[in-house]
Amino acid sequence: MTEKAEFPVSKVRRYLEPGPIVLLSSAHRGQRDIMALGWHTMMEFTPALVGCVIAADNHSFELVRGSGECVLNLPTAAMIDTVVGIGNTSGMEVDKFEHFGLTAGRGVNVDAPLIRDCPVNLECRLADASLVERYNFFIFQVMRAHAVPQPEHHETLHYTGDGVFMVAGGTVSRREQFRPELLD
């Protein structure tokens, strides 16, 4: 894969707002895990906030709650079988990095491992846990973003339930129809 560069955290909507499945990696007290996650939303540009639902029966739930950190990694559509495998195994039983042949990388702002095989890695710290008890809803601040410079838009997986994914790839620009203040 192309070498990644630092990417402005204020622009991570580019990767998250389209709603792809992401891989959330975390570590705590000698354990690490990866989960597939489709229930997330952008919440603010600056600070860059992302809300994520992490089901409480997921092994990652305790690692994220305990460490207050995670990395959101963007898998491409070509990684579909890895994504499905990650979503259908438990971190209580297997080390998912080893099991799926993924390479852990070191973050700058967090101790949670990056998944180097993904073209985009977002280092996150837990910013607001007030809805964790009630909805398993974690609000993270993206502290640092790493992305391959090209392509700007990756072919991504969008989960619909029942084992079926939509694939997003092609882009359409309507830039000329936007009010200037709505453009980056």
The two tokens of residue 66 are: 């305990």
- Among candidate residues 27, 32, 9, the one with its CA nearest the CA of residue 68: 27
Contact between 46 and a copy of itself per CB under 8 A: no
CB of 23 to a copy of itself, least distance (A): 15
144/159 Cα distance (integer angstroms): 26
Stretch that binds a copy of itself, among 32-40, 65-73, 102-110, 111-119 (CB under 8 A): 32-40
77/87 Cα distance (integer angstroms): 15
45/58 Cα distance (integer angstroms): 28
CB of 106 to a copy of itself, least distance (A): 28
CB of 184 to a copy of itself, least distance (A): 4
Contact between 149 and a copy of itself per CB under 8 A: no
**Nearer residue to a copy of itself within complex by CB, 5 or 167:** 167
Q: Are residues 89 and 83 in contact, defined by beta-carbon separation less than 8 angstroms?
A: no
Contact between 108 and a copy of itself per CB under 8 A: no
Contact between 119 and a copy of itself per CB under 8 A: no
Torsion of CA 21, 174, 8, 151, to 10 degrees: 60
CB of 111 to a copy of itself, least distance (A): 26
- Among candidate residues 15, 34, 44, 132, the one with its CA nearest the CA of residue 83: 34
CB of 81 to a copy of itself, least distance (A): 7
> What residue type is assigned to position 78 of the chain?
A
Q: Given the rule CB under 8 A, which residues bind a copy of itself?
A: 11, 13-15, 17-20, 38-44, 49, 51-53, 77, 80-81, 84-85, 87-88, 130-131, 135, 137, 139, 153, 156-179, 182-184
